[in-house]
Amino acid sequence: MKITDIEVIPANRFLYVKVVTDEGITGIGESGAWGFLDASAEVVNSFKTYLVGKDPLQIEHHWQYMYRCFHFRGAAIMGAISAIDIALWDIAGKWFNVPTYVLLGGKVRDKVRTYYHVIGDTTEELVNSCLKAKELGFTAVGHLSPFLDESREKPYFVPYAKMLNEAVDRVRQIREAVGDDVDLCLELHRRMKPGEAIAFAHAVEKYHPFFLEDPITPDNFDSMALIADKTNVPIATGERIHTIQEFEMLLSRNAMAYARTSVCLCGGITGTKKIAAIAEAHGVPIVPHNPLSPVSTAACLQIAASVENLVIQELPDHETVSATERFTSTDILKENFRQSDLVTWVPKAVEGFIDIPDRVGIGTDLVEGIQTLYPYQRREINTRLHLDGSVVDQ
């Protein structure tokens, strides 16, 4: 079996890759470089010149070749490697007529616990969103911002004491509304400084959040380690980094209690398995990052099925636009699009769990003609500014 073509398929606000073989078997993958998909597409085209004519089952060798060929790293490159890698694993599963996870060592669980995305630009909306998740049977909610999901068009300014107290009180209100039956995965979106994050963690500790995700920007591993050392609330981070070495540096500093692996950014299924093994050696579970389309979810499920140290899986609402779209864009009619229309199969959660599917490969394929049905749109640059004109992390 040989690779005969690699197709780049941009659709809506997503970037897919289809690997075609001379045996008629194809595989699909998705790039997680969601802000820079056009650049990631060009990286795929570069790798195509190497991959055409090769055996698609030499997945580890191809991963090493792509990762090391030009000596440079970055999200666009790693997104391309991830998409190709997922597609190759999809082909492998189809070639052997088994789910991809069988080739990764087989199932270690029968179903996967998931957490549901909640959203609200007012406290009332956020509380109601959490109550809706509970009614739907979820036992955990995530993408939960104690600072609300305000528009990036709105200039930001809140005095420190008010910012801290209002955020903590929102967590209180949510905890009182859902009780102890729902775990709260607090998403801080990198918007705090180390001292602020430590103070916030101490203030919300009594409400027992599952974890605090990305309290600060991911650039300084020592700062993340400082926060983890000064609080009893578990820290989850990793979604914006994409090499096994970066994860090892965070783990060796005890800077994360949960590793947020982005399967479509950190090297695909191959890269995620490597990171999960390193995390396992440190006694750290993984919480796969998944704000993308059902293709990403299908790939995540292969990891969830075969990795022992998974604790919970992020699950966005695939009956609407992508999570990143909901929180950053202003120029689309959100009610007119469903991610589920892009693919042939979407996993469903029942009582907060997804049964491990027995579908071959990663379990889903793109519908025919999605580029025409759902034309690609470049994501807008839309970063929030402070009232004083400076850039705000959100």
CA R_g for the chain: 20
**CB–CB of 265/78 below 8 Å?**
yes
Bridge-partner residues for 391, per DSSP?
Answer: 385
Q: How far is CA 240 from the centre of its chain?
A: 9
Cα(121)–Cα(153) distance, rounded to whole angstroms? 13
Token duo for residue 313? 């899986």
Can you read off the two tokens belonging to residue 113? 């616990």
Query: Which residue type does 359 have?
Result: R
Which residues participate in catalysis according to the annotation? Answer: 189, 289
With H, G, I as helix, E, B as strand and everything else as coil, classify residue 25.
coil
Extract the runs of DSSP E, i.e. beta strands, from the chain: 3-11, 14-21, 26-30, 111-117, 140-144, 183-187, 211-213, 235-237, 258-259, 313-315, 353-355
Q: What are the tokens at 71?
A: 């000596």
Contacts of 181 (CB under 8 A, 6+ apart): 134, 139
